[in-house]
Structures are given as structure tokens and as C-alpha cells.
Amino acid sequence: MVKAKERVLQRKKEQVKRVLEGAAMGLGFFMLFGILIIPGLREGMGDALDVVLGPLAAFVDNFLIAILILSVITGIYTSVIQKYTMNWELIEKSKEYQKQIRELQKELLEAKRENNKHKMKRIEKKRAEVMRKQTQFSGEMFKQQMKPMAYIGIITIPIFMWIWGYVGIYAGGAVIFPLIGEKAFTDSFIFGLPYWVLWYMICSIPIAQVIRKAIGIKSGM
């Protein structure tokens, strides 16, 4: 009787968890695509977040440093979300299948050079089986990759929208970027992306790698 109640309670918890995950992912994707199709949503996000980030930028009094601080913040919560929303056992299993396929491919090429048809047939059969197993993971792997993206977007997208609006203050002036030199915030460096995006990437990528290593997330995800 007690075990039956525990199972019912566990099922209810799992249902609530799925509902909350679905709502969070829905909100994340709404924000991601909404900024492209809903007029004023981008500005609304930036204005709402300015209540918090506006005083930060004013206190720091250096927008490059403000972006550096934000890259640290986004690096922390992005890594934490990835750590606790992704099935790492499943990901490691998929990596193992990929490794097996690469090794079998090498063996197959060697068997072809030797013209060993019996060995080629055996390897091809084994490779087909491994590839079949890996294909079964494809749908779940896609979900594993999309889930943290939706959660991360809930915070990251408004931050980017705030930065996008705030750089308008500096549109007429130039800033000396470390390693880059004097550039205007709104100048483009590639594919129409402004230099502040490049600065954010320069800051965030190494910071994120350090944080991921600190909390035990393996590289090469």
C-alpha cells in the first residue's frame, strides 16, 4: 500500500516536472522566435532588463567591462543548466558509438586494401549494427541539445536585447577594444555582426570553458 502511494506520488512529480519543462521550453522558443516576428518585443525585453542592468553599467562606467561581467554571468548559468538538464550518460553512449564507427571505418579501409572480402563483410555487418543503434539515439540526442538551449534563451535573449539597445548610446563614438584596437560598438566585423558581439565572444568562450571544467562538464559535448 505504501509502495503504491509512493509510485503515484512519483508519477505526479514526473508529470509536474514535464509540464514545467514544457512551459519553460515553450517560453524559451517563444522569446527566440518572437523577437524576429513580434514588433517591439526586442525593445520591451531590453527596457525591462534595464531596471537591473542599467545601474550595473552606470556603476562600472565602462561598457566593455559590463559586457565582460555579463559574459561571466551567462557562462555560469549556461554551464549549470547544461549540467543539470542533459542526460550525460546518453551523450557518452552516443560518443562511444561514434568512436566505434570511426574505428570500424578504419578497419574497413584496411580490409579493402587487403582485398579481404570475408573481413570486409564482417566489418560492414558490425558497422551497420552500431549505426542502427546510434540512429536510435538521434531523436533523444536532439531533445537533449534543444532542452538547455530553450532554458538558456529565457535569460540570454533579454540580456542580448538589452546590450543591443544600450550600445545605441555609444553609436557615435569609438572604443578601444583589447586586441582589436579602436572601433565603434556598432561597426560590423563579419556577416554584419557588430564588434560588441565579437567582444562578448572573446570574453565568454574561455570563461565558459573554465566554468564547465570547474563543475565537471567534459569538453567536446
75, 155 in Cβ contact below 8 A?
A: no
Better pLDDT: 205 or 147:
205
**What is the average per-residue pLDDT within 16-30?**
66
Radius of gyration (C-alpha) of the chain in whole angstroms: 24
Predicted confidence (pLDDT) at residue 173 exceeds the cutoff of 70:
no
Three cell numbers written together for 142: 536532439
Q: Which amino acid is at 11?
A: R
**Structure-block grid coordinates of residue 60:** 562600472
Mean pLDDT of the chain: 77
Q: Is 192 helix (H, G, I), strand (E, B) or coil?
A: coil
DSSP strand pairing (188-190 vs 193-194): antiparallel
In the 8-state DSSP scheme, what is residue 86? S
User: Tell me, what's the pLDDT at 30?
Assistant: 65
Give yes or no for a contact between 101 and 131, defined as CB atoms under 8 angstroms apart: yes
Of 34-43, 94-103, 193-202, the one with minimum mean pLDDT is 34-43
Q: Would you state the pLDDT for residue 86?
A: 77
Question: What is the average pLDDT across 50-72?
Answer: 85
Give pLDDT, residue 4: 63
| Contact present, 195 and 177 (Cβ < 8 Å) | yes
Higher pLDDT, 10 or 104: 104
Please tell me the number of Cα atoms within 13 Å of 149 on its side-chain side: 10
- Asked if 158 contacts 36 with a C-beta cutoff of 8 angstroms, the reply is no
Whether pLDDT at 98 is above 70: yes
The answer to whether residues 42 and 35 touch, using CB atoms and an 8 Å cutoff, is yes
